[in-house]
Chains A and B, each alone.
Chain A
Amino acid sequence: MYVAVKGGEKAIDNAHSLLAGQRRGDPEVPEIGVAQIQEQLRLGVDRVMAEGSLYDPELAALAVKQAWGDLVEAAFLLRAFRTTLPRLAVSLPVDTGSMRLWRRVSAAFKDLPGGQILGPTFDYTHRLLDFSLLDENQAPAETKAPAHDPPRDQAPAQTPGRVAAILEGQGLMGAEQGQEAAPDDLTRFPLSFPASRSQRLQNLARADEGFLLAMGYSTQRGFGNAHPFAGEIRMGRVSVSIVPEELGFAVDIGEVELTECEMINQFKGSKTEPPCFTRGYGLVFGRGERKAMSMALVDRALRARELGEDISAPAQDEEFVLYHSDNVEAQGFVQHLKLPHYVDFQSELVLVRSLRATAGQPEEEDS
C-alpha cells in the first residue's frame, strides 16, 4: 500500500552529503587549493567576479572550488555573499585613461600615441593542445614580465590617451549621454524603463558573457545595424579612490584589474545632427576581453532609441536584453522547473480530461 509522500528532509541531507563527497573527487588526487585556482585559473575567477559583481579574487576562487568549477553557480555564490555586505563608500569614477597597461590595441589606427601593446593574449596562439602541460613538474615558463604587476614606470604623461579622445578632439565623436551625478544602482532600485545609461551599463557589466556574446554577434550578422570598429581595447590595472567624508579629499584604497572596450560605430546623422561616430562601451572586471567587446556592441545597439534609429532587432530592444541578461536570475528560473509542480499539473490534467470529454460533443451547457 502506498504511503503518503514523506522523506524530503532525509533526501536533502543525503543529497548534501553526496554533493560534498563527490566534489572532492578521488582522494588519491591532491586537493586543489583556492590559491591555485586564483593563480592558475584566473580567467575563470575573473568571469566569476564580473558576473558575481564583486571584485574579490580569493572569494571568487573559493566560489569556483565550491561550485566544482561551474562558473555560473560560482557567480551565484558570490552574488549571494555580496548582497550581505555593507556599503561603506562610493568610489570616484576610475580613470581608465591612466590605466597601468598590460595590453592596449586599436583596430582603427595603424599607430597612435602610446603605440599598440599586444600583451598577454591568446589571439595569435595556434590552438594546438600543449601536451607538455600534462607534466606537472615542469619548471615555470620564463617570462619577461612579472606575473601580476604591469610596469610601474609609466609616468602619467606617458600613459597613452584614449583613442576616442582623438576623435572627440576632432569633433567626430557624438556626445555621450549618461552623465548623471550619481549613477543608478540596480541592486538598490529595480530596473525601470526607459533605462538610464548607467542602469544599462551596470546590467551589461553583470550580464552573462554567453548571452552578451550571442547578442553582440547578432548585431554583426544583420539583426541590428552595426558597423563597428574596435576603437580601443585596453586591459590593465587602475587605482580606485574614495573621498572619506571626514577627510574631504581623495585617497587611494587599492587597485583593480579591468578590461575596457570602446567600439566606434557609424552614425548616419539625423535631421538635427550631422553624421559622426558613436561609441559603444564595455567594461568588465578582470581579463574579460570577449565580454567587454560584446558589451560594447550591445551597448551601442541599445542606443538606438536615443539616436532615433529603427528598433527592429532583439539586441536593440532594451526590455528584451536587460531583462534576460542576468544569469543568476535566468538560471534560477529555468531550473525552478525541477521543483514539484504537481498541483498545477493536476489542475491541467483535470482540465484536459474535461476538455477531451466534451470535445466533439454538440455544444451544450457546460459548467
Chain B
Amino acid sequence: MSQAPQYNFAYLDEQTKRMVRRAILKAVALPGYQVPFASREMPLPYGWGTGGIQVTASILTPEDTLKVIDQGSDDTTNAVSIRRFFERTARVATTTRTSQASVIQTRHRIPEHPLTKDQILVFQVPMPEPLRFMEPRETETRAMHALEEYGVMHVKLYEDIARHGAIATSYNYPALVGGRYVMSPSPIPKFDNPKLHMSPALQLFGAGREKRIYALPPHTRVKSLDFEDHPFSVQHWDQACALCGARDTFLDEIVLDDAGRRMFVCSDSDYCGERRDNNAKAKNGPREAA
C-alpha cells in the first residue's frame, strides 16, 4: 500500500460525478431548492468545503481554469489546500485572476470583479437551510419550504428591528429566489448579496456534510428579504482600502498593534492587486494604459 492509488480525473469516480450532475441539473431546474444528494466522504474534512469540492469535481473538464478563494483571498490556507487538491487530482490550470477563471470555488465571498456568462461560481455551504436556527428539524423545514411557509423568517427579521432598530444579520443574509424559495446564500457578507441577483454566471451551492445542492441559474432574480420601511442595505466603510484606495469593496480590518491601530484593506486580494498594478502603471506613464 505504499504506492498511491491512481485516482480518476478530479478524484471522484464517473458514477459519482453523474450522480452529482443529476442533482445539479435538478437544482438548476428548481432555483433555490435544496436537492438531497449522496455526498461522499472526501479526503478533506466535512465543513472544509467538501460540498463545493464535489460540485467542482463533477463539472470540471481538463480545459477549465480554476480559481479558489477563501475570505476573498487566493492565498488563505484552505484555498491553497483545495487548489492543490485539484492541481493534483485533475491537473487543470489554476489562476488567481477572476477574469481568467472558468470555474471559481469560493468560501464566504463573491469576487468584486463582475462575473460573465462563461463562468461558474461554486459556493461552499456549511448550513444550506436558511430556516435552521428557527426550526432545527429537517422534517419541519422541508415542509415549510414546500408550503412556502416563510413567516418565521419575517418574524425573525421583524424582531431584529424591534430590538435593535435594524436587521441584525450581517452575513448569510436570507434571500428569496425567483419569487419562490428562500435560500441561504452561504456565509457571504450581505455586502455580496446584490451580486447574486441576475448574475450572468451560473452559481452552484454545495453542502457536503448536510448532503444538499442548490443553484441559481444565470439571470435569476434574487431578492434579499426586507421590509418596505426597512429596506435591505449593505455595509459601508468610512475608509478606503489602504493598499489600492478602493472605496466600493468589502474591506477587512487588520489590527496593527496592541494600541488598537487598525488598517482596512480589500478582502478580494486579486481585485486589490489588479488595482494596485493599474495605479502603478498610471503613475509610471499612460503609454501602457492601452
Interface residues of chain A, those whose CB is within 8 Å of chain B, are 2, 4-9, 11-12, 58-59, 62, 76, 79-80, 82-84, 86, 187-194, 319, 323, 328-329, 331-336, 339-344, 346-351, 354-355, 358, 363, 366-367
Contact = CB atoms under 8 A, between A and B. Distances in A.
Contacts, number: 153
B19 to A, nearest CB: 9
Please list the 3 inter-chain residue pairs (A to B) with the smallest Cβ-Cβ separation, ordered nearest first: A332-B46, A336-B47, A332-B45
A346 B189 contact: yes
28 contacts: A2-B256, A4-B272, A6-B75, A8-B77, A9-B80, A12-B77, A12-B84, A62-B1, A187-B38, A188-B38, A190-B36, A190-B37, A191-B211, A193-B139, A332-B47, A332-B209, A335-B47, A336-B46, A336-B47, A339-B48, A340-B71, A341-B187, A342-B252, A343-B71, A343-B187, A343-B267, A347-B170, A355-B168
B243 A4 contact: yes
A11 B190 CA distance: 31
A80 to B, nearest CB: 4
Give the bracket for the number of chain B residues in contact with chain A: 35 or more
A364 to B, nearest CB: 9
Interface of B: 1, 5, 7, 13, 36-43, 45-48, 50, 70-73, 75-81, 84, 107-109, 126, 136-139, 164-166, 168, 170-172, 187-191, 209, 211, 231, 233, 235, 237, 243, 250-254, 256, 263, 265, 267, 269, 272
Nearest to A79: B41
Max count, chain B CB within 10 A of own CB: residue among A8, A76, A189, A335: A8
Contacts of A12: 77, 80-81, 84
A7 B126 contact: no
A96 to B, nearest CB: 27
A86 to B, nearest CB: 8
Contact of B108 (A58, A334, A344, A367): A344
A19 B188 CA distance: 32
Contacts of B191: 347
Contacts of A347: 170-171, 189-191, 235
Contacts of A340: 70-71, 76-78
A229 to B, nearest CB: 33
Contact of B36 (A5, A192, A344, A349): A192
A8 B76 contact: yes
A83 B41 contact: yes
Contacts of A333: 46-47, 126, 209
B138 A193 contact: yes
Contacts of A351: 168, 170, 235
A82 B171 contact: no
Given A2-B254, A12-B77, A347-B190, A319 B137 contact: yes
Contacts of A11: 77
B80 A8 contact: yes
Given A336-B46, A339-B70, A339-B107, 10 more contacts: A8-B76, A76-B45, A193-B138, A319-B138, A332-B45, A343-B188, A346-B189, A347-B171, A355-B165, A358-B164
Contacts of A62: 1
Contacts of A344: 108, 170-172, 187, 189
A27 B118 CA distance: 54
Nearest to A331: B45
Contacts of A319: 136-139
A344 B70 CA distance: 12
Contacts of B189: 343-344, 346-347
B257 to A, nearest CB: 10
A84 B267 contact: no
A191 B263 CA distance: 47
Nearest to A350: B235
Contacts of A329: 46, 209
Given A332-B45, A336-B126, A5 B73 contact: yes
B251 A346 contact: yes
Given A8-B79, A358-B165, A336 B48 contact: yes
Nearest to A367: B233
A82 B41 contact: yes
Contacts of B188: 343
A90 to B, nearest CB: 16
B46 A343 contact: no
B127 to A, nearest CB: 9
Contact of A336 (B45, B138, B250): B45
B106 to A, nearest CB: 11
A33 B39 CA distance: 34
A9 B43 CA distance: 19
A331 to B, nearest CB: 7
A62 B2 CA distance: 11
Contacts of A59: 1
Contact of B41 (A328, A336, A358): A328
Contacts of A190: 36-39, 211
B57 to A, nearest CB: 12
